Structure 1
Amino acid sequence: MKLALGKLPPQLLRKYVLTMTGAKSKELVLSPRVGLDFGVVKLRSGFLIVSSDPVTGIAKNVGRHAVVVSANDVATSGNRASFMQSVILLPERVDERTVKELTSKMADAAKQLGITIVGGHTEVTPGLERPIVMTTAFAIARSFVSAGGAKAGDTLMMTKSAGIEGTAILAEEAARRGASPTTVRRASRFFDRMSVVDDAEGAFETGFIHAMHDCTEGGVLGAVYEMGVASRIGIEVDEGKIPVASETRAVCAVLGVDPLKLIGSGALLVAVEGGKEEVVKSALYPLGISVTSIGRFQAGERTLIHEKGGRRTLIRDSPTDELWKVERTAHLVST
C-alpha cells in the first residue's frame, strides 16, 4: 500500500512505530501514543519533557519554523522549553548565504523564546529539494498536563484561529492564483502568530486545565481527533464556533482547501474544567490572546462535528493536511 504524504495513519503508528521503543524504563512516565505531543522522563526532582519535530513542507522561514514547532509541543505540557538540539539536512548546491540565513533565524527564534541551542548535526544530503530541519526541545518541569488528560464535562477551548501556519505558507501561492495583494501581505505575517508558548503557559497557570494540544498537521479537526484519541474520550465540536481569520478564508477560497484541515501551528486546544472558561479567558486577555469555546468532552470515544448546515459528521481518522493537496498541484515551495 502506497502511503499518503504527511503523518502516518494512527493504525500504522500503533503497529510499526509506537510499540518499537527499545528497552523498558521505569523512569518513563508518559510513553508514546497517538495524539501526545511529548514524552516525559522522571528525574530525581521533577520531570524532563522532550519533543521532536521536523519541518519538511516549506523552504522559506524553515529555521524559525523548526524552533517554534518543537517549543510549541513542549509548551502543551504547561512548561517552556529551555534547551534544544537540531539536525539540519541541506540540499546539494546549497550556498553559504542559505546556511547563514537558516541558522541565524533559528538563533533569533530561540532567543525570543528563552531557549538555548545545545548542539546537533548539520550536513549536505543528496536527493533533497529543500532543507529539512528537525529539532528536539527539552524542558525541566515540576508538573505537567498532556493531550491525554481531558475529562468528561470539560469544555474544549481554542486560542486564536484555524490554519494559522498554513495561511502563511500558502500566501505566496495564493498570490499566483489571484488573491489580492492586501490579503497576501497580511497572510504572510501569520508566521508571527505561530507560537503557542504564551497561550499554553497562561492557560496552565490558572490551575483549571486538564489537557492541551496544538493544532499542527491536519489542522483543527486533526488536533481535535488526536486529543480525543489521546484522552480516550468523546468530543462534540460546533464547526460554526471555530474561529477562522478573514485572511485564512480568502487564501483557502482561492486554493480550494478547507481551513479546518490546514496545518495550524499557532492555535492551541485546551480542555478546561467545566464552568472555568471565563477564568481562562481572563488569564489570556492581558496577553492579547483570544480564546473561544468550540465544544465539549463527553463519555465515549466518538469525535462528532456539528456542521453549519445541521449535519453531524463522525471523524474516524486524522485528516490528511490540505497543505499536501496544494503541494501536489502547484510549485508552492521555492528555494
Structure 2
Amino acid sequence: MKTGKLTNETLGRVVLNHIDQVRDDILVRPAVGEDCAAIEFGDLACVITTDPITGSNSNLGNLAVNVCVNDIASSGAVPAGLMLTVLCPEDTKTEAIEAILQDANRAASEIGVEIIGGHTELTSAVNRIIVSATAIGKVEKDKLIQTKGAVPGDYLYMTKVAGLEGTAIIASDKRQALLEVLSNKELSTAQEFFEQVSVLKEGLIGADIGVSAMHDATEGGVLGAIHELCTAGNVGCRLKSEKIKIHPVTQKICDHFHIDPLKLIASGSMIMAVNPERAGDLERAFKEAEVSFSKVGTITKEKEMRLYFGDPSIEEVFDVIPAPEADELYKVI
C-alpha cells in the first residue's frame, strides 16, 4: 500500500465492512467522505471527529486543532471541545512538547474552542512527534449537514485556494530546496498559509444558508474532496478547471516538485454544494465575511466526475476525476 490514507476501495473493504450497526441513536455512521459521526441527544446532535497530523514537522499544534475542527465545521456544527493525544520519541525535550501545546492552545482560543483533555507520552513506537486530535461539537438535529447531501443541479463552490496546507508544509519543511525557485517573500507568503487553514467561518455560513453538503479539502486536495462528496451522495459533477483558484506561489512549488496542486492537501478550502436558489445568499454571505470563493461547477445525475478545460461550447476537453490516492505531499515530504 502507498503512504497516506487508505484508498476508498480499501477503506470500504478492510474497515467499513467490519463495523456493525447496533444503536438507534447514531445519526451519522462511518462512510467514504463522512469525516464526522453524529449521535442524537434529544433535539441536538453531538458531532465527533478525529484526525492525526502525520505529514508535517511544522505547526503541529495549529494543524491538529484546525484540521480536526474543520471536520466539525463541515457538518454545520459549532465546535466546543478538543482532546489531544501527543506521542513523542523517547529523546523529545519538554520544550518541544510545551511549544506544541502553546501553539495548539493559541489556535483553539482564536476560534473559541477549549482543549478539554488528552494524553501525552514518550514512546519508542514513534520516530517523530505525532499529534492526534478529537473534536466535539453540537448542532440542532434537523440542521445537521452531511457530505452525502448533494443533489443533481446543485452548484459547487470552493473557498480560498487549492493546496493551502500542503503549500505551507512544503515551504516550511523544504525551505532550503525552494530557495532556488522562490524569493524570501514568496517563501514567507507560503508559510503564512498556516494561518488560513481554518474553515470554521465558511462552515457556519454554510450552515446558516442551508447548503446541501460540505466537505473540507484535506488529503487528496480539492479534487479528492469533490470526488468524496460526489461518491457519498451517489452523484457526479462537471467542473471548470479555470474556476479552481491556485495561488501563484503554490503553482511554483508544485511545478518545482512535479506535483498536482489540485491533489495537494488543502485544509483551508471548503467544498460546498448548494441549491441554485440559495446560491446568491451564499455568495453575499461570503462577501460580507470577506471569504474568497469560486463557483467551480455543478452536481450532475450522471455519476461520472469530469474536469473540463477551456470553453466546452467550442470543444469538450475534459479529464475524468479519479478516486483520490496518496496525497501529492508524500511525494515531497
Write the distance in 1 (CA, Å) between the matches of 2:201 and 2:324. Answer: 26
Normalized against structure 1, the TM-score is what? 0.93
Write the distance in 1 (CA, Å) between the matches of 2:23 and 2:206. Answer: 31
Q: Which amino acid aligns with 1:281?
A: E
Q: Which amino acid aligns with 1:233?
A: V
Percent identity for Structure 1 against Structure 2: 32
Write the distance in 2 (CA, Å) between the matches of 1:88 and 1:19. Answer: 30
Normalized against structure 2, the TM-score is what? 0.94
Name the structure 2 match of 1:110.
108
Question: How far is 1:307 from its partner?
Answer: 3.1
| Backbone CA RMSD of aligned residues | 1.5
Say whether the 8 Å CA contact 2:209–2:278 is kept in structure 1: no
Question: How far is 1:314 from its partner?
Answer: 1.5
Name the structure 2 match of 1:131.
129
Which one of the candidate residues 264, 269, 274 is aligned to 2:271?
269
Q: Which amino acid aligns with 2:301?
A: A
Name the structure 2 match of 1:319.
325
Name the structure 1 match of 2:191.
188
Question: How far is 1:158 from its partner?
Answer: 0.5
Question: How far is 1:308 from its partner?
Answer: 4.6
Write the distance in 2 (CA, Å) between the matches of 1:263 and 1:308. Answer: 25
Say whether the 8 Å CA contact 1:213–1:227 is kept in structure 2: yes
Post-superposition Cα deviations, 1:271-330, rounded to whole Å, max 9, x if no partner, equal 011143221111011221011100100103221111359532222311321100112xxx
Say whether the 8 Å CA contact 1:150–1:211 is kept in structure 2: yes
Name the structure 2 match of 1:330.
none
Name the structure 1 match of 2:56.
58
Name the structure 2 match of 1:153.
153
**Matching of residues 170-181 of structure 1 within 5 Å:** 170-172=170-172, 173=174, 175-177=176-178, 178=180, 179-181=182-184
Write the distance in 2 (CA, Å) between the matches of 1:59 and 1:190. Answer: 15
The count of aligned residue pairs is 324
Q: Secondary structure at the match of 2:252?
A: helix
Name the structure 2 match of 1:10.
8
Distance of aligned partners of 1:227 and 1:23 in 2 relative to their CA distance in 1, 3 Å threshold: closer
Say whether the 8 Å CA contact 1:183–1:250 is kept in structure 2: no
Question: How far is 1:176 from its partner?
Answer: 1.8
Name the structure 2 match of 1:331.
none
The ranges of structure 1 where at least 4 consecutive aligned residues each deviate by more than 4 angstroms after the TM superposition are none
Name the structure 1 match of 2:77.
79
Question: How far is 1:155 from its partner?
Answer: 0.2
Question: How far is 1:22 from its partner?
Answer: 4.9
Write the distance in 2 (CA, Å) between the matches of 1:23 and 1:284. Answer: 38
Structure 2, unaligned runs of 5 or more: none
Question: How far is 1:23 from its partner?
Answer: 6.0
Write the distance in 2 (CA, Å) between the matches of 1:287 and 1:255. Answer: 34
Write the distance in 2 (CA, Å) between the matches of 1:256 and 1:196. Answer: 28
Say whether the 8 Å CA contact 2:7–2:325 is kept in structure 1: no
Write the distance in 2 (CA, Å) between the matches of 1:253 and 1:193. Answer: 22
Q: Secondary structure at the match of 2:162?
A: coil
**Matching of residues 296-315 of structure 1 within 5 Å:** 296-308=298-310, 311-315=317-321
**Matching of residues 214-293 of structure 1 within 5 Å:** 214-293=216-295
Name the structure 1 match of 2:90.
92
Write the distance in 2 (CA, Å) between the matches of 1:308 and 1:21. Answer: 44
Name the structure 1 match of 2:200.
197
Question: How far is 1:154 from its partner?
Answer: 0.1
